[in-house]
Amino acid sequence: MYVCVCNAVTERDIAEAVRGGATTLRHLRRDLGVTAECGRCARCAHDCLRTAKVECARPAMAPARASVAPSLSLALEAS
Which position among 39, 47, 55, 73 is part of the footprint of ligand FES (CB under 6 A)?
A: 39
Residue pair 30/45 in contact (Cβ under 8 Å)? The answer is no
- Site for ligand FES contains 28 (CB under 6 A): no
Q: Which residue type sits at 21?
A: G
User: Residue 7 or 51: which CB sits closer to ligand FES?
Assistant: 7
User: Residue 7 or 79: which CB sits closer to ligand FES?
Assistant: 7
Residue by residue, DSSP assigns 15-50 as HHHHHTT--SHHHHHHHH-TTSSS-TTHHHHHHHHH
- Site for ligand FES contains 37 (CB under 6 A): yes
